[in-house]
Structure 1
Amino acid sequence: MSTVTAANAAATTSTTTAAAAMKKSMGMNKDDFMKLFIAQLQYQDPLAPQDPTAMLNQLSQLSLVEQSYNSNTALEKLLTAQNNNLSISAVSFIGKDITANGNAITLDGASAATVKFSNTVATDSTLISIKDAAGNLVRTITTGALKSGDSSYSWDGRDNNGAQLPAGSYSFSATGTTAGGTSTIASTYTTGRVDGVSMASGTPVLTIGSTSIALTDVIGIKGV
């Protein structure tokens, strides 16, 4: 709940700056305009009062300034509500297993990690290449024949020498080879159980261990 509270606080701060933002873009806000208008009335020459038409024009301008201010305030409130809804939606993902567009693998050091990908055509074999956070190739896996569509492989977290790799974030790619010898690049997915939500960027981002996933990248969710 602290994440949602932080989002609300940020949204409230944004709303209170609406008048300041309008003053910056328009040169004045409605309070400035009213002070100027009253000052003109106070110091006008009684023998040569201001033209009524000019006064009406100024009042019309005041109305436009106030309408602009109200519109900005309404938009700020709308954005606040939208951000709150996004925060609540993001928090509801915690504890659920998701599939998202991406190629990240989170290795927790205690269990195997799932590598999920999709070939557009049937393949005789698929080469899975796994890299560590520094981009070093640590493991290559060659599968047997696969049908077109989604496939997954359980990686035990070991490198090509059989050594257990440390927990952390890894990435992978998958390249299939058809019966005719044609290479195909498979679509890759990030899978795992959501354990948190980050608001560091102002927009909710799901986390699986040290891996960050945008809400817009999520393509599947499964309750536990």
Structure 2
Amino acid sequence: MDISSVNSAAVTNSQGTTTGRKNILTQDDFLKLFTTQLKYQNPLEPLDNFQMASQMAQFNTVDALLKMNETMTQLATGQNSVNQLQMAGLIGKKVKTQGNNLVIEQGAVGEGMYQLAKPGKVIIQILNSQGAPVRLIDAGVRDTSLQKIGWDGKDQAGSSLPDGTYTFRILALDSQGLSVTVNTYQVGTVSGISLENGSAALQVNGGKVQLGDILSILN
């Protein structure tokens, strides 16, 4: 009598209907199945030593996997705690990350940067928090070095815009009129830590930034 037949018998009641099953079998479940198998084995065809050794090896494997899973969970929990401590130490620090947010705070405009994959003519578009364009800047032809946005916080008419979070877009075309790949970066102060579904993220320029996405700490 093999384990699969015992398992089938264990989950079927006397009326032939199937009872609810657990999604995961624990070590105790395997041991119960094994002892049930021994109890109901055919006396004329008892479980031989090879079968018994094979099934005991399976039990040991299950036990090892359960312990490994528990250890990995503990390691992950510990790593999350370390990451949160590192994040807490960054509050108030100015960092550079990938992104395209610009913040105006008390009239001061945050820094934004970009880098072209190859030289090209650049147009910078500034958008407000609703995604509406408020400024177009003709930056001329730029090379592949790191470039600053250089926005003064004013709209197209020259009026100062209110405090808030803005975004920038870069349109770059090469000499053939083909689009050029652009990487954008934002510089901002870490204002706090947000926790969502057990995952922590830094709050920078009104958005969320993962610890691994920080490219440099500037102060």
Normalising by the residue count of structure 1, what TM-score does the alignment of the two structures yield? 0.70
Is contact 1:121-1:149 (8 Å) kept? Answer: no
Partner of 1:5: none
2:90 match: secondary structure: coil
CA–CA separation in structure 1 for the residues paired with 2:68 and 2:184: 44
Larger-Rg structure: 2
CA–CA separation in structure 1 for the residues paired with 2:173 and 2:53: 78
Aligned length: 196
CA–CA separation in structure 2 for the residues paired with 1:63 and 1:99: 50
User: What are the residue-to-residue correspondences of 1:110-121 with 2, within 5 Å?
Assistant: 110-119=107-116
2:99 to 90, 99, 102: 102
User: What are the residue-to-residue correspondences of 1:8-23 with 2, within 5 Å?
Assistant: none
What are the superposed Cα offsets for residues 44-85 of structure 1, whole Å, 9 maximum, x if unpaired? 589669435243333222112211211221222222233223
CA–CA separation in structure 1 for the residues paired with 2:196 and 2:215: 23
When residues 119 and 112 of structure 1 are mapped into structure 2, their CA distance, relative to the original with a 3 A threshold, is: same
Is contact 1:197-1:205 (8 Å) kept? Answer: yes
When residues 167 and 201 of structure 1 are mapped into structure 2, their CA distance, relative to the original with a 3 A threshold, is: farther
Letter in 2 for 1:100: T
Letter in 2 for 1:208: V
1:160 to 156, 165, 168: 156
Identity of aligned residues (%): 26
When residues 62 and 145 of structure 1 are mapped into structure 2, their CA distance, relative to the original with a 3 A threshold, is: closer
CA–CA separation in structure 1 for the residues paired with 2:92 and 2:57: 56
Normalising by the residue count of structure 2, what TM-score does the alignment of the two structures yield? 0.71
Letter in 1 for 2:156: N
1:191 to 180, 187, 193: 187
Gaps of 5+ in 2: 1-21
Higher helix share: 1
Partner of 2:209: 213
Gaps of 5+ in 1: 1-22
CA–CA separation in structure 1 for the residues paired with 2:193 and 2:90: 9
1:181 deviation in Å? 8.5
CA–CA separation in structure 2 for the residues paired with 1:37 and 1:47: 16
Partner of 2:89: 92
